[in-house]
Structure 1
Amino acid sequence: MSTDASFREIREGLYWIHEPGPDRSGMVESMDPVPSWYDEAQSVHIPQCAYLLDGGDATLLLDTLSPASTDRILGALDAVLDDPLDYLVVSHPDVPHAGNTARILAAHDATLVAPRYGDDHELYRLDEATHVGEGDSIDLGRYTVDFHEATFLDAPVSLWMSERTEGMLFPVDWFGFPHLASERLRLVEELDVGIAESRLVQFHGRVLFWHQYVDVETVQREIDAVNRRFEPRMILPAHGLVVGEGAMEYVDRMKDVVAEIARRDRIGALG
C-alpha cells in the first residue's frame, strides 16, 4: 500500500486522496467535556476525501476536493494515471465535492457523471452530464460501481456509490468525523482506539444538523436497512477516515449516534 503526502493506495487500484481542511482544534476545545480522543498537541481536521478507482479497463474519480487543493488533486491524478481519467463522478454540487470539476475536466477528457436526482442541474452546470441513480452502474474492469439515491443527505442533488468486488460503500457526507493530524490517511483499524462515538456525534450534530429534528426510531430503522442492503465491508466517507474492517459494526453504531444527538438537543447541550 503506497502513500505520499496527499494520497494512499489502500487496495490495488483504489486510491484515497485526502485534503485535511482547516484546523478545528478550537471547536473541539470548546466542547464540554473535551472528548477523550483529543490531543492538545495536535491539530484537528474534518477532511475532504476523493477516491480514484483504476479498474484496468477504465478509471473513475469520485469527487474533486475543494479549490484549495487543486494542485493536490491534479498532482495525484498525474502521479497515478498513465492515461487520461475516464469518468469524473460528482456526488453533489458542494464546494468540497465539486470545486475542482472544471479544472479536472480541462486536464482530462473525462465523462462527467452527476446525480439524476433533483431539478436544479443547470444551476451547477450539470445539465449536460451523464445523470445516474438507482439501477445505474459503470464497469471499470477490476471494479464495478453502482449508484444509489442517498439514504442520508444534505443536498437534494446528491447520490451515494457502492462497489461490488470489495464491498465498498461511499456514503458521501454521512459517516463523517474529525481526526487528529497524526491520523491522516490512516485506516480506522490502524488507530490505537478506533473511532469514539463522540467524534461521530460532533460531526453529525453540527454539519448534518437535521439529525437534531428526526424521529430517532425511524432513522435507526433506515440505518439497519443500509446494512441489510449493502452489507458493506468497507466505508469510504467524504469527511472521515476509511473503515477497512468491521464496516457493518460501524454503520450499526450510527444508531447510537442519532439517539445521542436527539438526547443532547432535548437538554440544550449539543455543541
Structure 2
Amino acid sequence: MAVQLTDEVTWLAESYPHGERHLHVSVYLLEHAGTRILVDSGSFYHREQIDAQLAETIGDAPVDALVLSHADLPHSGNVPEFRERWPDLTLVSSSGSPAVVGLGHADVTAKIGGTMDICGRTFSFVDPPLADIQHTTWIFDHSSGVLFTADGFGNYHAPEHAGKPFGAVDGGIPTDDIHDYHRNALRWLCYVDPSRLDPAIDALFEELDVSVVAPTHGNPIEAADLPEYRSRLREAVERIAQADPHDL
C-alpha cells in the first residue's frame, strides 16, 4: 500500500505475516521539485510489492538518491537492483566503513550526528537511542519534519491495521504489539534502565520539530499521537527491563 504521509512523503509498505500478527517492511519516498529520494530500499524478499508501489506513485521516473539507515537486509536488500535500474542513483551510507558492511559502492557516507544536503533537501543523521546494530542512524528530513526511525518505534500489527498510521487504528496500536516487537528486535532493552532511556528520547524531540515518526517496521505516528505512542513504548520498555533476560 502507498500512503501519503505529508505533501512530500509517501509510505511504501509491505505487510507480511509474522505468526498470528503482521510486520511492516517499509521504504519512504520523498518528492520535491522534480527529484525523488528513497529512505531505505526494503528487502529483496519484498521487491515485487515495493516495485508495484513505486510504479503507482512515480511510474517509470528515476529515483535520484537512496539514503540508508543501516545496512542489514530489510534496509539495503534492493540496493544492487536499484543501482542497476537507476545508473545515476546517489547511494548514501550511514556506515563510516561502507565496504565492511557490503556497501563499498556507496557514493557518499553520512556522518552520524551531522547534516547533509541531498538533492536540495537538508537531512540530519541522528545517533538513535533505539537501534539494533552499529552504524544505524535515524534520518530527519528538515523540509517535511519526518523522522525516519529505522528499527525503533516499531510494532507488530493485526492484519487489518496494515497501511494505517497509528492514529487511524481504532484505539491505536496496542501496547502488547509495541512490547513484543521491541522485545524481539532490540534484545538489549532487557538490560536498560528505562528512567535513562526516556530523557534521551525527550531530548531528541526537543531538538527536532517532528511532524511524523516513520518507522521501518511499524505504523507511522503523527505528532498529535506521539504522546500516546510514547506512553505505550515507555510501559513496554519497563516490562522488558523487569523481565528475567532468560525468559525473553
TM-score by length of 2: 0.88
**CA positional deviation for 1:255:** 2.7
Q: Does 1:222 align with 2:217?
A: no
SS in 2 for 1:21: strand
Residue in structure 2 matched with residue 173 of structure 1 by the alignment: 151
Residue in structure 2 matched with residue 19 of structure 1 by the alignment: 14
Q: Does 1:246 align with 2:224?
A: yes
The letter for the 1-side match of 2:172 is G
Larger radius of gyration: 1
**CA positional deviation for 1:252:** 5.1
| Partner Cα separation in structure 1 for residue 216 and residue 24 of structure 2 | 7
**CA positional deviation for 1:204:** 0.8
8 A contact 2:161–2:169 mirrored in 1: yes
Check 1:76–1:108 CA distance in 2 against 1; reply closer, same or farther (3 A cut).
farther
For structure 1, list consecutive stretches of 5 or more residues without a partner in the other structure.
1-5, 26-43
8 A contact 1:115–1:159 mirrored in 2: yes
Residue in structure 1 matched with residue 94 of structure 2 by the alignment: 115
Q: 1:69 aligns with which of 32, 43, 46?
A: 46
SS in 1 for 2:4: strand
Residue in structure 1 matched with residue 28 of structure 2 by the alignment: 51
Check 1:252–1:97 CA distance in 2 against 1; reply closer, same or farther (3 A cut).
same
What are the superposed Cα offsets for residues 200-242 of structure 1, whole Å, 9 maximum, x if unpaired? 1111111111000122222222122222222422110000011
SS in 2 for 1:246: helix
**CA positional deviation for 1:19:** 1.3
The letter for the 1-side match of 2:144 is E
Residue in structure 1 matched with residue 82 of structure 2 by the alignment: 104
Please provide the CA RMSD for this pair.
Answer: 2.1
Q: Does 1:132 align with 2:100?
A: no
| Partner Cα separation in structure 1 for residue 76 and residue 36 of structure 2 | 18
Number of equivalenced pairs: 243
| Partner Cα separation in structure 1 for residue 174 and residue 168 of structure 2 | 14
Check 1:126–1:154 CA distance in 2 against 1; reply closer, same or farther (3 A cut).
same
Residue in structure 2 matched with residue 262 of structure 1 by the alignment: 241
8 A contact 1:8–1:15 mirrored in 2: yes
**CA positional deviation for 1:263:** 1.6
SS in 1 for 2:47: helix
8 A contact 2:146–2:213 mirrored in 1: yes
For structure 2, list consecutive stretches of 5 or more residues without a partner in the other structure.
none
SS in 1 for 2:244: helix
The letter for the 2-side match of 1:215 is D
Q: Provide runs of 4+ in structure 1 moved above 3 Å.
A: none
Q: 1:182 aligns with which of 160, 176, 193?
A: 160
SS in 2 for 1:78: helix
**CA positional deviation for 1:60:** 0.7
More strand by share: 2
